[in-house]
Structure 1
Amino acid sequence: MKQVARLFLFVFFLFGLAVPSFSQKEFKKVLEASFESGPLISNGQPWADAVKNLVSYHAVDIRLGWRKNTNSYYGQLYRYPVFGVGLSTTLAYQSEIGRPQGVYWFFDIPFREFSYDRKFNLSYFGHLGLGFNLNPYDSIENPLNRYIGSELNSYIHLGLKVNYFLTEQVHLFSMVGLKHFSNGATKKPNAGINLLPVSVGVRYNFNKSEEETPHLWERPELNKTGYWSTAFYFGSKNYEVGGASYFRGGANLTRLWEKSYKYRYGVGLDVFFAPGLRDRSGLAQVSLWDQMSLAVVGAWEWKLTEHLYIPVGFGVYLHRNNENQEFTWFYERIGMRYSLNDRLFTGVQIKAHKFKADFFEYTVGYSF
């Protein structure tokens, strides 16, 4: 639980690096409030269906956002999106799952530049943060809830949003998407809580009018010839319910190419280390190779701003060990990273097998 808390406090620290500048005049502020309701998605197990039938989900959100109205090439690329922070809280406490709440950073990116000539505008959104106040699995007090094993968890909400311009300053909106709570296997069980809420809400724009779109901003030259990126991963994993957690780590070397201002792609090599196999498995003979895995990984990075980007990866194992719970021949990776300068970056990702969490990866890296 402490591992997850440290992880997401670290993420919010990264996003906090950019927040102070949002108070400047070149950012237009918005305030949103919404109500949402929807079903809990069962994984098909009898205990999961039982929890689903007992639980009803109703929650409210409040968000404070900033939209840059001065010229920047990333602002133009994404049609002047909104970034900000938010709070979500379930309305009622339920003994099976508690009263899930979350604090998060968010983005809201329109498919087309917002225009008062169109009453309806469509956008897509993402919320990433820390979920808390859940009632986790307990063999005596809460044996039915095998969805989650910790009070603190990651909080992810992705979906689509329809905006209706009621007045110049007041907008109505509706959102639909998938909401997910998970601790990244830092404490089992960790099937994860998945919800499919629909929300309705209102946005208030503190600024009365929209300024004209500025002229095209000069864009920097892309690095199409490619460059190298190396990263180091640190985390922990809980292998069995009630068991101890063990260090998990790894390293990566990737060749990346910039073919677009929005995306980078590349191919690299991952090496993972899972110590403690002798204690976990009871095996008498354990080698270093047994506690390591090796994989080729395809990389794709989605650049949201000059510094903030989302890394996505798909890896294929060249060597793995089932005792380390690497049950499939492939894995997925997604997360958030922040470039401190042209060379150094840091962030956090989740590595998963068939979308089942393996471990959270604290990441530090260097590009050259």
Structure 2
Amino acid sequence: MRKAFVFIVGILLICEGLSARDKSEKMCRVSFGAAAGWAYLLGLDDYAQELIHSHRTLFYTLNVAYRALPGDSSLYDSAFGYPMLEGGFLLADYSHIRLHMENRHTPYISGLGYMAAAYGAFRRDIVRSGRFSLSYSLENGIGLSTRPYNRVDNIDNELIGSPVSVYFGLGLQGKCRVARHWELYASVDLKHFSNGALDRPNKGANTVGLSAGLRYYPVPEKLLFPVRNRQGKTFDKYFYCDISVGWAAKSLIDEWFLYYYMISPQDPRYRTSVFPVYSALTATVAPMFRYRLKYASGIGVDYMYMPYVDRLKEVDKEKGMKGLVYSPHSVGLSLRHEVFYKRFSLYFSFGYYLFRKIGVESSDFDKEQYKYIPVEKEKPYYETLGLRYTIPGLECVYIGYQVKAHLLKADCMALSVGIRLEKLKKRGGCTI
């Protein structure tokens, strides 16, 4: 850890030397940061708790951040209290993690190695008082694993199943301006890496921890940044209809159960690391109410067509199971909320299936006969978390991606295109 902090301070001192050459107006909006932290790897169920034998994780980040000034014209920056937009690199040191299931008699310990990620972050102050401030952060990115699952020498790594993972992070930071150019901060962080069910295994690496960091401002702040939105009461509320279609992709956990637990070790598929990706089509219609510049809420009707149910029937046949019912169609009703910032928006929903039959037990299903066969029992609830981008020149059209889960267990990842049938208007000469 001492070497890590020496490295961080060295990088920031170099940044200070370089910034002395250019005190342009743009540099008033830019800052540089670095952090290091400790985290605890969580086991979210009994199986994961038995699998994980050590939990210590270390994180290191380097980043550059941009923050608009009060003199800038964006109503979104004013509405959010002039947030920071950050881009950076994160190194997760999972090398201390030990993974092993005692009942498999595996003659070695599996691990996670390292994860290197590029990410973007949104940081917003919620309290400011003199030198001190309190903020929250939302992070999203892509990570590369040095040691994903494989059946040869890492068979107990059921957390990270593929070289590429999606990264999500949440944080709460307390910050103190210790000098004109320097800010010290401490943070409580939740971090998540997984492949979004695009490969198997996919339990995901979830950590909670503490970090400390430094931020360098090339040009000292001379302005006060208000936290509260002064424009909120002037926003014209309106209704719109959000219509989207998408392509969803996933691997099947039922195939994982079959290949890992039920077929012969002589079968070439036994404990394989190669799982095909299956497609589905999605469509959503959601009446929404835009009640503030930042927020919209509504109710959505969600439809999905899943042709891969034929493969699920084949898996059941290979398991020797009878009496499970499947349908390629599902319909759900969801509560939705969307947060807007310029052309980007973050949305999430919580829904309940009105119709869905994926492995539903019929009256002919013998529970006692199949009680020792591993199967995936879906919950009737689902959640969706996604990021959208509104296309310039087509102010009502957006593209995006989202992860769908069943009570926090990833089900699929989807790409979508959508249209909002009421586009934003110009107010006071400024495009909001």
Q: Tell me the distance in 1 between the aligned counterparts of 2:166 and 2:41.
A: 17
Give the corresponding residue for 1:367.
420
How many residues of Structure 1 are paired with residues of Structure 2 in the alignment?
337
Larger Rg: 2
Q: Write out per-residue CA displacement over residues 42-70 of structure 1, whole angstroms, 9 at most, x where no aligned residue.
A: 134356444342x5311210111100013
Give the corresponding residue for 1:129.
141
Q: Write out per-residue CA displacement over residues 307-366 of structure 1, whole angstroms, 9 at most, x where no aligned residue.
A: 111111111111102239671112011111111242111111111100100111111111
Which of 410, 416, 424 matches 1:357?
A: 410
Q: Write out per-residue CA displacement over residues 275-294 of structure 1, whole angstroms, 9 at most, x where no aligned residue.
A: 1322332279xxxx811101
Aligned-residue Cα RMSD (Å) equals: 2.6
Task: Give the counterpart letter for 1:29 in structure 2.
Answer: V
Mean Cα deviation higher: 65-74 or 186-195: 65-74
The 3-state SS of whatever aligns with 2:33 is strand
Q: Tell me the distance in 1 between the aligned counterparts of 2:396 and 2:48.
A: 48
Matches within 5 A, 1:44-123: 44-45=45-46, 48-53=49-54, 55-69=55-69, 70-71=71-72, 72-91=74-93, 93=95, 96-112=111-127, 114=128, 118-123=130-135
Does 2:301 correspond to 1:299?
Answer: no
Query: Does the 8 Å contact 2:79/2:231 carry over to 1?
Result: no
Q: Tell me the distance in 1 between the aligned counterparts of 2:309 and 2:352.
A: 22
4+ residue segments displaced more than 6 Å: 216-221
Give the corresponding residue for 1:346.
399
Q: Write out per-residue CA displacement over residues 179-237 of structure 1, whole angstroms, 9 at most, x where no aligned residue.
A: 100111111111111111210110001212333559x8867975634111111121211
The 3-state SS of whatever aligns with 1:226 is strand
Q: Tell me the distance in 2 between the aligned counterparts of 1:353 and 1:39.
A: 24
TM-score, normalised with respect to structure 1: 0.84
Unaligned runs of 5+ in 2: 1-23, 97-109, 257-271, 318-325, 361-375, 422-432
Q: Tell me the distance in 2 between the aligned counterparts of 1:119 and 1:27.
A: 18
Query: Does the 8 Å contact 2:81/2:225 carry over to 1?
Result: no
The 3-state SS of whatever aligns with 1:320 is strand
Q: Tell me the distance in 2 between the aligned counterparts of 1:50 and 1:229.
A: 43
Q: Tell me the distance in 2 between the aligned counterparts of 1:147 and 1:182.
A: 8
Does 2:335 correspond to 1:333?
Answer: no
Does 2:357 correspond to 1:321?
Answer: yes
Query: Does the 8 Å contact 2:189/2:211 carry over to 1?
Result: no
Q: Kindly tell me: are residues 314 and 27 of structure 1, through their superposed partners in 2, closer, same or farther at Cα, counting changes over 3 Å?
A: farther
Query: Does the 8 Å contact 1:85/1:104 carry over to 2?
Result: yes
Q: Tell me the distance in 2 between the aligned counterparts of 1:24 and 1:296.
A: 49
Give the corresponding residue for 2:174.
162
Q: Kindly tell me: are residues 25 and 318 of structure 1, through their superposed partners in 2, closer, same or farther at Cα, counting changes over 3 Å?
A: same
Matches within 5 A, 1:174-253: 174-212=186-224, 222=235, 224-239=237-252, 240-241=255-256, 242=272, 243-253=275-285
Q: Kindly tell me: are residues 251 and 326 of structure 1, through their superposed partners in 2, closer, same or farther at Cα, counting changes over 3 Å?
A: farther
Q: Tell me the distance in 2 between the aligned counterparts of 1:24 and 1:126.
A: 27
TM-score, normalised with respect to structure 2: 0.72
